[in-house]
Structure 1
Amino acid sequence: MNEGRIVKVSGPLVVAEGMRNSNMFDVVRVGKENLIGEILEIHEDRASIQVYEETSGLGPGAPVVSTMAPLSVELGPGLIENIFDGIQRPLEAMRQQTGGNITRGVSIPALDRSRKWHFVPRAKTGDYVRAGDIIGVVQENEVFEHRIMVPYGIEGTLIEISEGDYTVEETVARVETKDATGATKVHALTLMQKWPVRQGRPYKEKLPLDEPLITGQRIIDTLFPIALGGVAAIPGPFGSGKTVVQHQLAKWAAADLVVYIGCGERGNEMTDVLMEFPELKDPRTGKSLMKRTVLIANTSDMPVAAREASIYTGITIAEYFRDMGYNVALMADSTSRWAEALREMSGRLEEMPGEEGYPAYLSSRLAQFYERAGKVRTLGSQERIGSLSAIGAVSPPGGDISEPVSQATLRIVKVFWGLDYSLSYRRHFPAINWLVSYSLYEERLRDWYTENVSRDWVRLTGDMMRILQEEAELQEIVQLVGVDALSPMDRVTLEAARSIREDYLQQDAFNDVDTYATLNKQYRMLRLIMGFYYKARDAVRAGAGISEIFNLPVRERIGRAKFVPEDKVSQVYDEMEKDLETQMDALTAKEDN
């Protein structure tokens, strides 16, 4: 322990002297109420501390005690279905203890110390175990198996392990280790382990990203896919639908577990998540979506310093589940609020400001966060592959993505889903602008789509993107001289582009059928719309009239194709393809005669 005294208080920043024996990023207890803080700077015996709770009432002379340990999270059974604040305090347990408002200085362990979990061993006495080895499992709920791993830094012989009901602090196994001198030491293993949040959890190796994270959102899976273990950014102005897109990804992405971080967002949005997720039926399990979700809530009215920690708390929890061999999807909403917390603390530390007042280390901090994503071969003697996909929302002021947070993020991530306010104003959701968005994973994932969906996939998506780009050019001509000045072929291109936009890319998050589309349904829809385009061009070449082509009865059915339930896709789409061919052939034959 190292005790000092406060000499200055500036909002969430506290300066204390007498802290010479402390280290950077040590957690400290501030004042008589034992507020939680973290050391940011040390000058001789003075330490600058960011306090994660309200500092009103603190004054010079108040005690500051260092715990001599970094900010860490507790990792073990009890994380799933829980909601924590930015420094991993369980909000429900705090509400039961202190009421509806968060009371300062409350110290509640993240994991329930009284609840017992049934531990089933997967290793036996006498086994040689290494860090990362799974020694047993706990069935955390009806859908999620929590795998208990040997903590990092421990390697030796299992001398005791037994099945039974344990709390997270009780010993479930003992491992005997030997040091370089041959001396032995016995380590007691519990269901819980701790890990410092600012340090990435270790793994054997990072693997190439060659498989997509299937989201069920057509514009993402088709045009701008994200790889399993990849990183993506969703920048967009207020009201363009960033949070809804992230909610959709959290609900439907093909991940074993979702970690959702509400970083500085409005409280009512986190309330929506809390109310909505338990009611949602998980398409993978048929149970509530909360059965595989961890929520970190640091709303905009909570202390700004804790907002900075919430991102690291969330990604450390996500890495822990990745190490079990699961595919984890992390949603950070939004990194702009996190960067604003960095800027506020940097300003109070009187650091030299960078662009727009953000600290000079903004880019490196963002990179440190996103680089913790990836697909990895985990530690341990068993062969396990886990992935962590990170998707961050960015909220640039006024929607201007030339501002520092957006630009720093775009230099790091490989997928950019650019939200467009004009699309959201026209009620086109998701409001992802196909002309500015991109995915650098697309080329690497082509082989996977070809093997697992269809050999036509790359050709159809390429033609689809080309039509949308041609439409943007043709619209300029239309605005100048009108649509009647276009050639029949260009009119077909415009009609196909309209069908792609309205019938394919537009997706209703609140419609039970349209909210999610499997890759098979996406491919069949794409084949229908592009089939109409190809056949319409052939009909124009044969002399058919534009109005006749556009008024074919099958056109209306293609427009409603996205509302066909998944179990009827094969039958209904086959019928539509036959009708399309029959009606187009009849039209062409009429012109030939």
Structure 2
Amino acid sequence: MGKVVKVSGPLVVATGMENANMADVVRVGEQRLIGEILNMNGDSASIQVYEETSGLGPGAEVITTGSPLAVELGPGLIENIYDGIQRPLEEIMHKAGANITRGIEVPALSREKKWAFTPVAKVGDKVQGGDVIGTVQETSVVLHKIMIPPKMSGTLEMVVAAGDYTVEETVAVLKTDKGESVSLTMVQKWPVRVGRPYKHKYPPKAPLCSGQRIIDTMFPIAKGGTAAVPGPFGSGKTVVQHQLAKWADVDIVVYIGCGERGNEMTDVLREFPELKDPRTGESLMKRTVLIANTSDMPVAAREASIYTGITIAEYFRDMGYDVAVIADSTSRWAEALREMSGRLEEMPGEEGYPAYLSSRLAQFYERAGMVECIGSDEDRRGSLTAVGAVSPPGGDLSEPVSQATMRIVKVFWALDSSLAYKRHFPAINWLNSYSLYLDSLKPWFDEKLGKEFLVDREKAMSILQEEASLNEIVQLVGKDSLSPSDQLTLETAKMVREDFLQQNAFVDIDSYSSYDRQEKLLSLILSYDRLCRAAIEKGAQTVDLFAIPARERIGRAKSAEADQYVEVYADIARSMASEIDACAEKGGLDV
């Protein structure tokens, strides 16, 4: 127990804390505000308080809990909405009304709700950390696996029969290797700043299908990979992340609203329950955990929210699930780091950010990966994919957070506000973005979509790059002065941009595009380019070729139903080929 001697916003300094430890969670003042010890100097402790500190003054009591900031992991996480330190917001609203009462203590997982536990292990089984002892059908789409906590091993002395139990009731008794009997419940705690263990990390081999053509085809991210979505205000970062959360082919989504505007989190809370999951047909919330730490909430909790989210994600990864963590936005998190660093009077780094900004970002992104989970089951593998938005002031990608993130992540989706103002969504600039996973994903693409897919992708990218060069000439001398071949390049590039890369989120059939559909659409556009080039060589006029309504048909085909698009694309290809051949014959006769 100690006494407060200084209060500076969320930073509180207390003396008499010689028995406390770094990173301990403490309770401050009569209202028992929750905080965390950042550093120790003799018996003096600097404490980061996760709640509003107005009214707190010198002399207030500080009591340490003796344990670091940890999250509760167990049934009840899915469909829940937490703040940055895992307090359930809906429970708090029922208990305290619209505003969060300072110092309120509400368990992260309901202690009253009973879950239907089905045992998997039996008495006498030798088990180790990560082994599954039972299951709970948490939602209609998520089977929650109750696991032995990491670093524990021994023999099961007792396992309860199938039935309904609360998370605090004993479901098994483990006799450890040291001879101690330990009661196991359905809930376990884990410190948020420590990554959960795994046996082995593998290089990512399969793409994360998001249904967004510019992402999946041009700049794919692997399951277990890392990506950054940088862009200035209004360029569509949140739109891209919402699309990923809605359509990515993962089992669990953890969405962290870190320092974002409250109305954006409100949109998420309203949209997700109404959205149909394309994989299951159920509500998207049935496999989603939301963490809301909006810009008007205490700044210190913003720093913790990122770790809270990724620890929950690691827990589901350990069950063998594919998990995506969507963090919106890491810039707001970095700003919280900067504010706390300034109050601690640390030596500032570039633009006032702490010198350890890069290492903290790396600690977050390095927790992603495709891993072999701990436990006796050698076939159980899970993946954790981390996607973080970056909000550089004024869109300046040379600022520290963007630069540090670019050094760590392997996929960079550069958003462009000029594209967003043109209503081109997703507003990802194809000339500035990149993916370093193409080589590792090549075997998967070759096997599932054929070797032509990546060849077509390279061809489309080269056409877009040629268009950028030709546009400079067009601005000087006009389009008519270009050669027929260059005019065709501009026409094909327009088709790639508007018919392939651009998607309409308000049309259900176009807001999500499967890999097979993407491959066929791109192949159709490049087929048009190839046939037209052959026709031009035979003497066909570009005026006649561009008069063919191929582009209009391809654009309309994006709205073809999922069970009809193969036939529709085949019909377009046949009619397009015959019409281009007719132009070629006419051109040959004219010559």
The alignment's TM-score, normalised by the length of structure 2, stands at 0.99
- Which sits farther off after the overlay, 566-575 or 319-328? 566-575
Describe how 1:104-119 pairs up with structure 2 within 5 A: 104-119=102-117
Describe how 1:539-554 pairs up with structure 2 within 5 A: 539-554=535-550
> What one-letter code is carried by the residue in structure 2 that aligns with 1:165?
D
Name the residue aligned to 1:164: 163
SS at match of 2:47: strand
Say if 2:540 and 2:585, in contact at 8 Å, map to a contact too: no
- Which sits farther off after the overlay, 509-518 or 552-561? 552-561
Per the TM alignment, residue 499 of structure 1 is displaced from its structure 2 partner at its CA by: 0.5
- For residues 19 and 534 of structure 1, what CA distance do their matches in structure 2 show? 75
Q: Deviations over 1:406-448 (max 9, x none)?
A: 0000000000000001111111111100000000001211111
Describe how 1:101-500 pairs up with structure 2 within 5 A: 101-162=99-160, 163-179=162-178, 184-383=179-378, 384-500=380-496
SS at match of 2:171: strand
- Which sits farther off after the overlay, 549-558 or 85-94? 549-558
- For residues 214 and 549 of structure 2, what CA distance do their matches in structure 1 show? 26
Name the residue aligned to 1:84: 82
- For residues 177 and 480 of structure 2, what CA distance do their matches in structure 1 show? 84
- For residues 467 and 213 of structure 2, what CA distance do their matches in structure 1 show? 19
SS at match of 1:430: coil
Describe how 1:13-28 pairs up with structure 2 within 5 A: 13-28=11-26
> What one-letter code is carried by the residue in structure 2 that aligns with 1:311?
I
- For residues 551 and 532 of structure 2, what CA distance do their matches in structure 1 show? 11
- For residues 577 and 494 of structure 2, what CA distance do their matches in structure 1 show? 21
> What one-letter code is carried by the residue in structure 1 that aligns with 2:341?
S
Q: Deviations over 1:215-261 (max 9, x none)?
A: 10000001100000000000000000000100000000000000000
- For residues 480 and 576 of structure 2, what CA distance do their matches in structure 1 show? 26
- For residues 549 and 293 of structure 2, what CA distance do their matches in structure 1 show? 53
Say if 2:495 and 2:551, in contact at 8 Å, map to a contact too: no
- For residues 186 and 227 of structure 1, what CA distance do their matches in structure 2 show? 43
> What one-letter code is carried by the residue in structure 2 that aligns with 1:516?
Y
Per the TM alignment, residue 583 of structure 1 is displaced from its structure 2 partner at its CA by: 1.1
Structure 2: unaligned runs, 5 residues or longer: none
- For residues 47 and 157 of structure 1, what CA distance do their matches in structure 2 show? 42
- For residues 454 and 98 of structure 1, what CA distance do their matches in structure 2 show? 58
SS at match of 2:508: coil
- For residues 558 and 154 of structure 1, what CA distance do their matches in structure 2 show? 59
Say if 2:492 and 2:525, in contact at 8 Å, map to a contact too: yes
- For residues 398 and 551 of structure 2, what CA distance do their matches in structure 1 show? 41
- For residues 322 and 531 of structure 1, what CA distance do their matches in structure 2 show? 42
- For residues 464 and 446 of structure 1, what CA distance do their matches in structure 2 show? 17
SS at match of 1:411: helix
Name the residue aligned to 2:42: 44
RMSD, matched Cα: 0.7
- Which sits farther off after the overlay, 561-570 or 408-417? 561-570
Name the residue aligned to 1:516: 512
- For residues 23 and 158 of structure 1, what CA distance do their matches in structure 2 show? 34
Per the TM alignment, residue 69 of structure 1 is displaced from its structure 2 partner at its CA by: 0.2
Say if 2:28 and 2:61, in contact at 8 Å, map to a contact too: yes
Describe how 1:32-71 pairs up with structure 2 within 5 A: 32-71=30-69
> What one-letter code is carried by the residue in structure 1 that aligns with 2:243?
Q
Per the TM alignment, residue 582 of structure 1 is displaced from its structure 2 partner at its CA by: 1.3
- For residues 411 and 24 of structure 1, what CA distance do their matches in structure 2 show? 29
Structure 1: unaligned runs, 5 residues or longer: none
Number of equivalenced pairs: 587
